[in-house]
Structure 1
Amino acid sequence: MRLTVEAGGLTLQNPTILAAGILGTTGASLKRVASMGAGAVVTKSIGVEPRYGHPNPSMIKLECGYINAMGLPNPSYREFLQELEVARQAGVPVIASIFGANEAEFREVAEGLPGASAYELNVSCPHAKGYGMQLGTDPALVEAVTRAVKGAVDVPVWVKLTPNVTDITAIGRAAQDGGADAVVAINTVKAMTIDIDSGYPILGNISGGLSGPAIKPIAVKCVYELYEALDIPVIGVGGISNWADAVEFLMAGASAVEIGSAVYDGLEVFASVSMGLSDYLERKNMKLEDLVGLSHRVVKHEAHKC
């Protein structure tokens, strides 16, 4: 079954994408993920200056997923440029995840990392002071940052949104107004955990972001709302670990899906999701594009019948 899809200005051989921050620190690791079946890969979030991130422990596994507070560690765009060149040999689109404290920094990083297939603006990290969601909760700032990067590059610009807001569609509309080619929903949900023997928070940063299966219903709802509100594509991410999860996101309105936490259980997840999706479409006698937004059409059809 044909799985080629147009998503946010890119052509993907299948709708699975490696999410930002997962095995995206080197060009070699990005190439490896591509060789295991990912339709595209997203790099680690890269900024203007090197950052060492938060003190350990910076990531813990829970029954329902993971909580991490990495703190955007990265070597800076100057040092990462060589890794991007290596990643471009992967044979799939390479999307550079970038961050900054303001529009000027976002633009500097985008211009300093030429050659990416697209840029994903991280305005949603919940645990890096002065970055991420501290910008991404303000529609005016999101619009300004998006417009600054869009005016500096000639490839698609995606904006990764935070769920830690009252109305995610307001942020999505701001990204769209700034010229975004797609929005990515969602980043992690603010969370923490405490050691009951000492009473002390377990993470070195005290709190962090929850990912994995626990946030999938939140992510599906955000994708559903954004699909209704926007005219640009939505890329779904959050708790996807199998083909059925991917189908659910597509039905909610996602044009493609990013996979993050599930990678820790094996890189076979990309091929497994694609194969399962292909089998599902064949059983249903459907095309991939028939799935995108299907839930909306079903709801409207039932409402019309009433």
Structure 2
Amino acid sequence: MSDPSATGRFVGRERDVDELCALLRDERVITLVGPGGIGKTRLAGRIAYLERAKVVELGCIADGRSVVKALDVHPASSGLLVLDGCDLPRGDCAGLVAALAARCPGLRFLLTGRRAAGVPGELVRRVPPLALPGDGRTDAGSVELFVERAAAAGARGVADRDVERVCRLLEGVPLALELAAAHARSIAPARMLQRIGGRHGLLRVVDPAVPGRARTVWAVLEWSHELLSPKERVLLRRLPVFAGAFDPELAARVCADGGLLRGAELPGLLGGLADKALVVRQAGGRLRLHGVVKEYAAERSREAAEEAWLRDRHLRRRE
């Protein structure tokens, strides 16, 4: 896995990284759990980079045999294997890990998911939100992340009490902070707070059954979606057709229809979505959607009745 800091400095998890790397010396299976947007994938990615680990995004794999084949795993294999997204309905993650552990005694496993995988002997570590600012403190991880991402978006002079209040309101959830910070150049934190506090503001209730932090991320996604141009909205709802990372060229062939979206527009639109933290840039020029963003965009695709059409185009464009 490429260093996740390549698309933004790794912020606020240094102690977690040190502790997990030490635990992996003694524990064979560790699962990072928490709601979508809490930073499980980024934390696991940092550890994978430091440990030179093999990584599998389970959302891109059809079954356990595909994992074994893709990794060329054999009984003498050793080292760390990161399985990202173990709660996706792509097969029995616990069975896969148990089978790999039995086949390869030298392998260790770091899993991510919204809940424990149920692997015998699994050590479950809940990923917390980033540290919130205390009275008069501006060095908390949540503030550091917001300020850095806001600066990357072209904003200046945002390290103030309004930022601290935004970080508290967003509960230190990294994805929510990144989405908000991406708009800091055009929307000052004070104005964000006004919109948050309004009746139809940032944290309106999306679904009372959804836990608090998951609801926070979803609400920020709703707000960010409202700020997109019409063409950006169309492209975002079409990107979930890709199971994992994708090339911009393939995205243009699949998502452009010559009407709502033209192929020549795709590079600029993809860049706009990346600047707004809705698309993640990876090393080598590939792109991907964060898991929660993908879920949100897939709902918009279902509302537009485009899922079957997109799957067909994806199949035909890859042939």
Instruction: Normalising by structure 2, report the TM-score.
Output: 0.23
Q: Highest CA radius of gyration, 1 or 2?
A: 2
Bigger share in strand: 1
Bigger relative contact order, structure 1 or 2 (CA pairs below 8 A, ≥6 apart): 1
Q: Which has the higher helix share?
A: 2
